[in-house]
Amino acid sequence: MLGEGGAPRPTESLPSQDAPTPPLPNGAVPPTPSGRTVEPRHVRATPSWWTRAPSAVYIAIGVTGAIGLFFAMGALGYYSIPFIIQNLPQGFGPVQTSLEFTTYTFVIGLGLAMGLGLVRAHPPRRDPAASRKRRRSQLSLLWRWPLYGFASGYVAAIRGTPFLVQLQIVYLIVIFTSPRFEFAGWNAAYWAGFFALLINTTGYQTEAIRGGVQSVEAGQIEGAKAVGLGRFQTFVRITMPQTLRLITLPLTNEWISNFKTATILSYIGVFEVFDWSRTNIALTDARPIEAFVMLTIFYLVINVSLSRVITFVERVRRIPGLGSPIPEVGVSKRILGAGILTDRHGGSG
């Protein structure tokens, strides 16, 4: 809207809107209500070197800093580095036990979770696209409902309770029924811990897999049907390949989570790495700080390298357009993982 003389209309903040606008000289900046002119900042702040460095630089700085700190503190007498170097190999056995527990439960859990995840991914619902006649006789709903209910209840129970509680329950049941049970070199406590861990990780993996299956766009399923692929074919050729790619991140998170949860087994007598550092080093040898440092070394080395490797592999094997964008940026809460992959049980509610 033009005022007199072709000059732009004043903003509403000017007091008198009835008075005609005086024509402004060309190039002048209209005065602000208080009468002062404000010069816009036309010189852009140049980014300094410390903001422009690529991430590899700060990773390098971080790592050297951490190593330097490690040696510095050792030199200062907080802990003795020779002791650490000497006793670290002692921990390899317990670490192996930890890894065994983690990986066996993870793999078995994966198999179970595949089944449960698929059940959870397809809530029994009348198919609205099917014909009315067919809908009435969808008897399969009769057995699908209890199955879905069981899977959902199981997952909710696992995700709603702490592992400590789950462990105690399983442990007590095992102890009450067969306290002297022994199999393949493991006693009853070990097996109790194994089953508790298995039940736990299956629950979380189910959610991750369910997320992956449900993330495959409905449009692609429709596209597959439209070219004549049957339900089984669609599942094998379209849903599964994409699911497997989508769940790599959450499942790695879950492995790491499992690895950390296994430490709780130390309190029912499983001699794994935390138990070793606690009983042998901290208490028996009376060197708690060294114990903690050794534990840190084991966990950092294993977890951080696993995460970095997986992130790298994901980035290299990325298929454009499939799945979440570069894990640095979070996307869906289901696949929320960034940088180091130790998110807690990346499933959703």
Partner 1 sequence: MSSIRVRGVRKSFGDLEVLRGVDLDIDPGEVLCVVGPSGSGKSTLLRCINLLVMPDEGEVYLDSVALTDPRIRPEWVRQQIGMVFQSFNLFTHLTVKRNVMLALRHAKKVDRATAEKTAIYQLTRVGLADKLDAYPAQLSGGQQQRVAIARALAMDPKAMLFDEPTSALDPESIHEVLAVMGRLAQEGMTMAVVTHEMGFAKEVADRVVFFDGGRVLEEGSPEEIFDRAGHERTQAFMKKILR
Partner 2 sequence: MVYGAAGTIGGILFLLELGYLHVYRLPFALSQVNPLLSGFYLTLEVVVTILTFGFGLGFLIGWARTTRFIFLRGLGSIYVDFFRSMPPIALIFFASLIGAIELKGSNINPYEVHNITLWLGVVALALHTAAYQAEIVRAGILSVPTGQTEAADAVGISRFRSMFVVVLPQAFRLSLPALGNEFSSSIKDTSLLSVIGWLELSGIAFVQTSLAFKTYLYGSLVIWIMSGFLYFVVTYIVTRTVRGVEDLYKVPGLEVAR
Residue numbers at the binding site for partner 1 (CB under 8 A): 128-134, 217, 219-220, 222-230, 233, 237-238, 241-242, 245, 319-322
Cβ within 8 Å of residue 202, ≥6 positions away? 108, 109, 112, 113, 116, 158
Q: Which stretch binds partner 2 (CB under 8 A): 132-140, 184-192, 228-236, 290-298?
A: 290-298
Q: Among partner 2, partner 1, none, what does residue 300 contact (CB within 5–8 Å per kind)? A: partner 2
Give buried/exposed letters for 61-99 (b at 16+ CB in 10 A, else e): eeeeeeeeebeeebeeeebeeebbeebeeebeebbebbe
What is the size of the binding site for partner 2 (CB under 8 A)? 76
Structure tokens at 20: 């005609």
Q: Can you list the positions of beta strands (E) in the chain?
A: 182-183, 186-187
Contact residue for partner 2 among 208, 303, 310, 323 (CB under 8 A)? 303
Q: Among partner 2, partner 1, none, what does residue 201 contact (CB within 5–8 Å per kind)? A: none
Contact residue for partner 2 among 163, 190, 191, 276 (CB under 8 A)? 163
Q: Among partner 1, partner 2, none, what does residue 19 contact (CB within 5–8 Å per kind)? A: none
Q: Under the criterion CB under 8 A, does residue 231 sit at the interface with partner 2?
A: no
Q: Among partner 1, partner 2, none, what does residue 228 contact (CB within 5–8 Å per kind)? A: partner 1
Q: Which stretch binds partner 2 (CB under 8 A): 8-16, 147-155, 220-228, 311-319?
A: 147-155
Termini Cα distance of the chain: 54
Q: Under the criterion CB under 8 A, does residue 88 sit at the interface with partner 2?
A: no
User: How many Å apart are CA 235 and CA 80, to the nearest integer?
Assistant: 58
Binding mask 53-72 for partner 2 (x = CB under 8 A): x---xxx-xx--xx------
Q: Among partner 2, partner 1, none, what does residue 77 contact (CB within 5–8 Å per kind)? A: none
Q: Under the criterion CB under 8 A, does residue 296 sit at the interface with partner 2?
A: yes
Q: Under the criterion CB under 8 A, does residue 73 sit at the interface with partner 2?
A: no
Q: Are 256 and 263 in contact (CB under 8 A)?
A: no
Coil, helix or strand at residue 322: coil
Structure tokens at 125: 């619902």
Q: How far is the CB of 252 from partner 1 (least distance, A)?
A: 19
Nearer to partner 2, 88 or 229 (CB): 88
Q: Under the criterion CB under 8 A, does residue 258 sit at the interface with partner 2?
A: no
Coil, helix or strand at residue 37: coil
Nearer to partner 1, 138 or 152 (CB): 138
Q: How far is the CB of 235 from partner 1 (least distance, A)?
A: 11
User: How many Å apart are CA 199 and CA 112, to the nearest integer?
Assistant: 10
Q: Which residue type sits at 10?
A: P
Q: Among partner 1, partner 2, none, what does residue 309 contact (CB within 5–8 Å per kind)? A: none
Residues 109-128, interacting with partner 2 (CB under 8 A): 123
Nearer to partner 1, 2 or 129 (CB): 129
Q: Under the criterion CB under 8 A, does residue 295 sit at the interface with partner 2?
A: yes
User: How many Å apart are CA 152 and CA 35, to the nearest integer?
Assistant: 67
Other beta carbons less than 10 A from residue 112's beta carbon: 16
Helix axes 140-160, 92-121, angle to 10 degrees: 140
Q: Among partner 2, partner 1, none, what does residue 202 contact (CB within 5–8 Å per kind)? A: none
Q: How far is the CB of 134 from partner 1 (least distance, A)?
A: 7
Q: Are 98 and 299 in contact (CB under 8 A)?
A: no
From the number of C-beta atoms within 10 Å of its C-beta (0-12, 13-18, 19+), residue 128 rates as: exposed
Q: Which secondary structure element, helix H or strand E, spans residue 98, and what is its range?
A: helix 92-121
Nearer to partner 1, 238 or 282 (CB): 238
